[in-house]
Amino acid sequence: MTSKLKPLIGPSILNADLSRLYEESQKLLDNGADYLHLDVMDGHFVPNLTFGHPVVKCLRSKIHNAFFETHMMVANPLQWIIPMAEAGVNQYTFHIEPISNVEEVCRKIKENGMKAGIAIKPGTSVTEIAKYISISDMVLIMTVEPGFGGQKFMEDQMQKVRWLREHYPLLDIEVDGGVGPSTIESCAAAGANMIVSGTAVIGAQDQAATIKLLRDTVQRAINK
């Protein structure tokens, strides 16, 4: 792998105490998180419902410098680009499955000053996303079915990560779902450099040590 890649750990706040969203988020950043992964669900693309741009805006009003990635598990990603940009989001990651206008969505995301991330569910072939990599900034490979936290890690999704790393050596590849100390070796070895970890980090007795373990594991894989 190339040394130009950076290991980036982005805890998901989905499993945090959402009544203390700012405190929980700031704690993660103080404990070494590189960015915050904000799961936005609309109750349509996935059955669950979380929060939208007003909550993100409130969080940004207290946390000024952190990198915010919104993982948009929504049926119409075009609809929320401007509100999320205005809320202070840095990267807008959306799923390609429910839409046909992926190019338009990527273009509008960038026009509004955000990075564009594209995501696929476990049942979607990695070749479906390959045609859009040139217009995106990052690819997210879901390692669980999107919509709920705390699911079991799907090892078979690592073949997608390996394929992407082989064909796109400099691409930022993110994995999300069931990732923690017991599965990070598999993710790192496959080539993922952006690690979303919810339950494993949020519930850790020592968040800083857990985040460091995840980052160090990815860095060792990058250095090989």
Quote the tokens at residue 121: 């569910």
Residue 66 contacts residue 74 (beta carbons within 8 Å): no
> 51: annotated binding-site residue?
no
Check the annotation: does 17 bind a ligand. no
The reported pLDDT for the residue numbered 18 is 87
CA–CA dist 37, 201 (Å, integer): 12
- What's the one-letter identity of residue 198? G
Q: pLDDT by residue (tens digit) across 159-208?
A: 999 999 999 999 999 999 999 999 999 999 999 999 999 999 999 999 99
**64 pLDDT higher than 80:** yes
Determine the topology of domain 8-223 in CATH. TIM Barrel (3.20.20)
Q: Is 67 annotated as a binding residue?
A: no
Please give the positions annotated as active site: 39, 176
Instruction: Please tell me whether 150 is known to bind a ligand.
Output: yes
Q: Where are the domains of the chain?
A: 8-223
How would residue 58 be classed by pLDDT, with cut points 50, 70 and 90? very high
**One-letter amino acid of 82:** I
pLDDT for the residue 1: 45
Tokens of 38: 């904000």
Mean pLDDT for 3-17 is 91
Is residue 127 within 8 A of residue 167, CB to CB? The reply is no
Does the annotation list 203 as a binding residue?
Answer: no
